[in-house]
Amino acid sequence: MRIPLLFLVLIVAVIADEDYYKLLGIERDADDRTIRKAFKKLAIQKHPDKNKDNPNAHAEFVKINKAYEVLKDEETRKKYDQFGEKGLEDGFQGGNNYQSWQFYNENFGIYDDDPEIVTLNRADFQRQVSDSNEMWFINFYSTYCSHCHQLAPTWRKFARVMEGAVRIGAVNCAEDPGLCQSQRVHAYPSLVVYPTGEFYTGVRDLELLQEFILQRMTAEILHLGSDNIEALTTEWEPYDSRPWIIDFCDETDSCLSPANRRKLAAMLDGLVNVGNVNCRANAEHELCEFLDASMGVSYYPARQVQKGYEKKMNSLDPKELADEVLTYLDAIEEIGEQDLQELLEGTSWPTSVLFVSNKNDLNERKDYKKLPAALPDVKILFVDCSKYMDKCRAVLDVQKLPQFVTFKTTGGYEIDYDGTVGKPPKSEEKRGVGNLWITVNKKSYYDVRAFIKESATSPLHVLDEDAYNAAISSGELWIVDYFAPWCPPCLRLIGEYRRLHSIIDRKDEVVSKIRIGLIDCQKYNQICQKAGVQRFDIFQALNASLRLPIIGKRVDASVNDR
């Protein structure tokens, strides 16, 4: 028997005994890196090896260690967030086994202070590496491996040198052995290039690592001459529609090195053409005279590679050049109130709109200019809410701007709630939920890009009162999630709903047509109360008077089984 309408609720558990988040001094939306850094700080301070005069040192450290072991694991953290410590009673024995003070001081979390290196868990790896076509170079290591620690300084330098050209990752196989085994990693450290899955087998030297990865980059460097410049800049697609960075070399070699030229091309791949002119060659001397350039780097607008249109660039550092280029590119296209209304009524093309408090907010995120080129199948726009505050307020919480909203061809829209956790209502504070303050959305460019890519094709969307009532009376199969935007576990689950369509059986005519909706219980409190939603601590499937428990991780199986 299939249930035509499912109501799912995720709410934060009321923790009667220990609040593991408070023990570690972190917020409930903390990521893995934040959790590790907080635990390491406490481990160094509270470890029994350093507190031998404290008879309670062992017991206190066991509590801290247990909190870390619960929160570092995706499954146990999910159970704890839903059910508190009671959710851990099923055979979980943690906290008593811990390492020496020296281990935590010298060996633990070796890449957590390196922003250029992305530490990946299973969920991160699937979403950011496996499901993308981006180039990654990932270090699979073990905390207990001496060679891994010897490599760490070189890996840090490599990450800084290659920042922006290739994504650099690290996976701790001591904490996630299943992930490493799934990637055929059986020795540490193992350095693997993605998406090809090629293992690096050479000497782990900085220059050799650079040479290896540069040889595998596919971004084009276009060698310009008098015989091809007209066609490349005005006729041949896709080059004719893009701006140019041209590197002019003369006898003084005041130009980019081959390695830096390739890094720059990788940083701007698909966004700006990177070209090279050798002014030392007789064949190209005429072109250099025509452009009145013989050395250094210049930027040219699309279809205007001519004398007088150039912008001289004073750096030969690829990262600095890429950052400067972003200041020259056109801003995201702005839309007005009428355009926004038309999107709310429906769109024939996937469209993601950045809602900002005012136009100046865009100056802080120049990297968003890369989104249209990175996501050619999605329109990327922005709306200035200082002009249309009422219209913006009808869509989202304007206190949490800037925020992306994706409008879908299937109808409706989805809000990127991640990174905008707010303070819960006082009624929830009294029940021990915590004290989370509204934060400005400072998600990385990569996180934003992943949200837009996933949301553009996902059936998930936000429901207002009219859409909610229509869903109930439609007779279609709906999953409705009652959530609160100040609830971090709720927000984590939204990501699972967003990806649900990619794992369900598309051959099943009923399940493949599942619609997924979100109801913001802070904004539509009366709807949630009427539906019987009173506290955020359980999953429930509701159909009239029928109530069936659903385990969050198995949402897809539960739907298919009914």
Query: What is the residue range of 168's domain?
Result: 117-131+136-215
pLDDT tens profile 298-343? 999 999 999 999 999 999 999 999 999 999 999 999 999 999 999 9
Q: Say if residue 339 is in the same domain as residue 317.
A: no
Structural domain count of the chain: 3
Residue that wins the pLDDT comparison between 267 and 558: 267
- CA dist 381 and 331 (Å) reads 9
Helix (H, G, I), strand (E, B) or coil at 535: coil
Q: Say if residue 376 is in the same domain as residue 320.
A: no
| The 296-300 sheet, strands edge to edge | 222-223, 273-278, 244-249, 296-300, 311-313
DSSP state for residue 390 in the 8-state scheme: H
**Residue 555, pLDDT above cutoff 70:** no
Does residue 366 form part of some domain?
Answer: yes
Q: What is the pLDDT of residue 147?
A: 95
Q: Say if residue 417 is in the same domain as residue 367.
A: yes
- CA dist 206 and 553 (Å) reads 42
pLDDT tens profile 335-387? 999 999 999 988 889 999 999 999 988 888 999 999 999 999 999 999 999 99
pLDDT band at 89 (very low <50, low <70, confident <90, very high): low
Q: What is the pLDDT of residue 534?
A: 64
Q: What is the pLDDT of residue 508?
A: 66
Q: Say if residue 288 is in the same domain as residue 376.
A: no
Residue 308: both structure tokens together: 């007088």
DSSP state for residue 403 in the 8-state scheme: E
Q: Say if residue 342 is in the same domain as residue 453.
A: yes
> What integer best gives the mean pLDDT of the chain?
83
pLDDT tens profile 443-470? 789 989 999 999 998 888 899 898 898 8
**Residue 535, pLDDT above cutoff 60:** no
Q: What is the pLDDT of residue 436?
A: 34
pLDDT tens profile 131-149? 888 999 999 999 999 999 9
Buried-exposed string 65-93: b where 16+ CB fall within 10 A, e elsewhere: bbbbbbbbbeebbbbbbbbbbebbeeebe
Q: By the 8 A CB rule, do 478 and 6 touch?
A: yes
Does residue 401 form part of some domain?
Answer: yes
pLDDT band at 251 (very low <50, low <70, confident <90, very high): low
pLDDT band at 252 (very low <50, low <70, confident <90, very high): low
Does residue 67 form part of some domain?
Answer: no
DSSP state for residue 40 in the 8-state scheme: H
Q: Say if residue 352 is in the same domain as residue 414.
A: yes
Q: What is the pLDDT of residue 481?
A: 87
**Residue 547, pLDDT above cutoff 50:** no
- Three-state SS string across 210-224, please? HHHHHHCCCCCCEEC
Q: Say if residue 264 is in the same domain as residue 202.
A: no
**Residue 32, pLDDT above cutoff 60:** yes
Q: Which residue has the tokens 């801290």?
A: 64
Q: Say if residue 337 is in the same domain as residue 396.
A: yes
Residue 36: both structure tokens together: 């590790």
Q: What is the pLDDT of residue 65?
A: 92
Q: Say if residue 285 is in the same domain as residue 404.
A: no
Does residue 423 form part of some domain?
Answer: yes
Residue that wins the pLDDT comparison between 187 and 89: 187
pTM of the model: 0.81
**Average pLDDT of the residues in 45-67:** 92
Q: Which helix (H) or strand (E) holds 247?
A: strand 244-249
Q: Is 346 left (phi over 0), alpha (psi -120 to 50) or beta?
A: left
**Average pLDDT of the residues in 24-32:** 86
DSSP state for residue 204 in the 8-state scheme: -
Q: What is the pLDDT of residue 255?
A: 87
Q: What is the pLDDT of residue 324?
A: 96
Does residue 71 form part of some domain?
Answer: no
Q: Say if residue 296 is in the same domain as residue 322.
A: yes
Q: Say if residue 447 is in the same domain as residue 335.
A: yes
End-of-domain residue from the set 311, 328, 345 = 328
- Strands (E) in 369-452, as ranges, are 379-384, 403-407, 413-415
pLDDT band at 17 (very low <50, low <70, confident <90, very high): low
End-of-domain residue from the set 411, 435, 457 = 457
Q: Which amino acid is at 318?
A: P
Q: What is the pLDDT of residue 556?
A: 34
pLDDT tens profile 217-231? 999 999 999 889 999
Q: What is the pLDDT of residue 95?
A: 63
Q: What is the pLDDT of residue 326?
A: 95
Q: By the 8 A CB rule, do 504 and 556 touch?
A: yes
Does residue 87 form part of some domain?
Answer: no
Q: What is the pLDDT of residue 92?
A: 60
Q: What is the pLDDT of residue 415?
A: 93
pLDDT tens profile 397-428? 888 889 999 999 988 899 998 755 444 444 44
Q: Is the dihedral angle over the CA atoms 433, 434, 438, 440 positive or is it negative?
A: negative
Residue 141: both structure tokens together: 């290591």
pLDDT band at 509 (very low <50, low <70, confident <90, very high): low
Q: What is the pLDDT of residue 507?
A: 67
Q: What is the CATH number of the domain that holds 207?
A: 3.40.30.10
Does residue 463 form part of some domain?
Answer: no
- Strands (E) in 291-402, as ranges, are 296-300, 311-313, 333-334, 351-356, 379-384
**Residue 519, pLDDT above cutoff 70:** yes
Residue that wins the pLDDT comparison between 412 and 208: 208
Strand pairing partners for 518? 462, 481
Does residue 62 form part of some domain?
Answer: no
End-of-domain residue from the set 457, 491, 511 = 457
Q: What is the pLDDT of residue 75?
A: 80
Q: Say if residue 152 is in the same domain as residue 123.
A: yes
